[in-house]
């Protein structure tokens, strides 16, 4: 089975990917946080820097584009091709309230004719292979057969299905039954995404969808950087491994020349998920979150580890 690290905006930057790949090998592919081009296909220079080959050595990375205009998508895809990429992922699943009304992300599922037209133009002209990350619908998984009929018209490299509708955001239970039905009907290879936090979660999905060949995890993998190792049958995360990972992440963020304020913000984003490995540590979480300097942050982290509350079985649950 192939294991993919989902794109996590504000977390899984090239710095994070490099440190994670070195300390926790075993991820087959990292999907980079989305690029959101303007109407001409331009996006922020910092976003493209994150995808430069020299910042992603020895890591299999797939860029992702959040865009509903084919011309802008194609322009950015050509830039990615020039950087050496051979595949790009279309984000048709982001449920954010700032994205969906613009008919981007999961908002693309609201107008199937427009989605069809977009895909027709992209697949006719894109220099890269195209995968799609999608939701099951806007309001209900009952919408997905019609959506899948559109996807099935095109040579999609891989269909990554987040097994919720947009209305479910990240709160509802994944509809594994709807995913299983979709995987049987899809002409493209299918990857499962949605609430993989432990080996038991993977077992449940595989029981419903026998023959599944790839799985994507995001929040669970940030909360437990050894998750993919565990999914492969390896050892649970140990406290000293987590401490080394966090220390390395801090050092690499600072080595990249980022300001102390920016570094703290990045580290706190990671701790939003990691804190779940420390049950009953609300006070420690508050202290980390209120840190205004790296000295305060380091003291808060050291204190939390010293309390001995770390539990590798305490999986993130949203």
Contact 232, 3 (CB under 8 A): yes
pLDDT at 162: 98
| 192 in Cβ contact with 166 (< 8 Å) | no
Q: What is the mean pLDDT of residues 295-317?
A: 91
pLDDT, tens digit, 9 for 90 and up, residues 140-171: 999 999 999 999 999 999 999 999 999 999 99
Query: pLDDT over 70 for what percent of the chain?
Result: 100
Residue 21 has pLDDT above 90, yes or no: yes
39-56 pLDDT, tens per residue?
878 888 888 999 999 999
Query: Which pLDDT score is estimated for 28?
Result: 98
| Predicted pLDDT at 313 | 86
Residue 132 has what pLDDT?
A: 98
- In tens, the pLDDT along 187-240 reads 999 999 999 999 999 999 999 999 999 999 999 999 999 999 999 999 999 999
Residues in contact with 224: Cβ distance below 8 Å, sequence separation at least 6, in sequence order: 197, 230, 237, 277, 312, 315, 316
* Residue in 5, 4, 7, 80 with CA at minimum distance from that of residue 37: 80
Bin 16: left if φ > 0, else alpha if -120 < ψ < 50, else beta.
Answer: alpha
Are the CB atoms for 191 and 159 separated by under 8 Å?
Answer: yes
Please name the helix (run of DSSP H) or strand (run of DSSP E) that holds residue 215, with its range, or none: strand 214-217
Do 28 and 215 form a contact (C-beta atoms < 8 A)? no
Q: Say what percent of the chain tops pLDDT 90.
A: 92
Tell me the average pLDDT across 113-131: 98
CATH topology of domain 2-231: TIM Barrel (3.20.20)
pLDDT at res. 148 = 98
Task: Sketch the domain layout of the chain as residue ranges.
Answer: 2-231, 239-306
Closest listed residue to residue 161, CA positions, set 207, 109, 111, 203: 109
Phi and psi, residue 198, nearest 5° = -160, 165
pLDDT in tens, 227-278: 999 999 999 999 999 999 999 999 999 999 989 999 999 999 999 999 999 9
Q: What is the pLDDT of residue 120?
A: 98
pLDDT digits (tens, 9 = 90+) for 69-109: 999 999 999 999 999 999 999 999 999 999 999 999 999 99
Q: Higher-confidence residue: 152 or 281?
A: 152
Per-residue pLDDT, 314: 83
Mean pLDDT of 16-44: 94
- pLDDT in the model for residue 36: 94
pTM of the entire predicted model: 0.96
The confidence score (pLDDT) of residue 46 equals: 86
For residues 175-186, b (16+ Cβ closer than 10 Å) or e, as one string? Answer: bbebbbbbbeeb
Closest CA to 118 of 158, 153, 83: 153
Task: Give me the sign of the Cα torsion angle 295, 55, 34, 179.
Answer: negative
Indicate the angle between helix axes 282-289 and 294-306, nearest 10 degrees. 170
């Amino acid at each position: 089975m192939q294991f993919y690290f989902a794109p996590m905006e504000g977390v899984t930057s090239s710095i994070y990917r490099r440190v994670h790949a070195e300390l926790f090998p075993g991820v087959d592919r990292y999907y980079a946080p989305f690029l959101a081009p303007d109407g001409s296909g331009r996006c922020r220079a910092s976003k493209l820097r994150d995808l430069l080959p020299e910042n992603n050595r020895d890591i299999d990375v797939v860029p992702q584009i959040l865009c509903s205009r084919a011309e802008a998508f194609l322009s950015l895809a050509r830039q990615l091709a020039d950087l050496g990429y051979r595949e790009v992922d279309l984000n048709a699943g982001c449920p954010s309230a700032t994205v969906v009304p613009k008919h981007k992300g999961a908002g693309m599922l609201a107008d199937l004719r427009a989605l069809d037209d977009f895909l027709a133009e992209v697949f006719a002209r894109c220099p890269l292979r195209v995968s799609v990350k999608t939701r099951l619908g806007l309001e209900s998984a009952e919408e997905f057969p019609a959506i899948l009929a559109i996807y099935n018209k095109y040579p999609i490299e891989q269909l990554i299905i987040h097994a919720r509708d947009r209305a479910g955001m990240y709160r509802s239970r994944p509809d594994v039954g709807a995913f299983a039905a979709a995987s049987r009907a899809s002409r493209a290879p299918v990857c499962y995404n949605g609430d993989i936090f432990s080996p038991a979660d993977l077992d449940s999905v595989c029981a419903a969808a026998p023959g599944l060949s790839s799985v994507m995890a995001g929040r669970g993998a940030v909360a437990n950087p050894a998750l993919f190792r565990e999914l492969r049958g390896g050892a649970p995360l140990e406290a000293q491994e987590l401490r080394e990972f966090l220390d390395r992440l801090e050092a690499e963020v600072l080595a990249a020349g980022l300001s102390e304020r920016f570094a703290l913000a990045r580290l706190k984003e990671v701790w939003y998920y990691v804190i779940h490995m420390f049950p009953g540590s609300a006070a420690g979480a508050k202290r980390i979150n209120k840190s205004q300097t790296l000295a305060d942050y380091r003291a808060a982290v050291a204190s939390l580890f010293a309390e001995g509350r770390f539990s590798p079985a305490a999986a993130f649950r949203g």
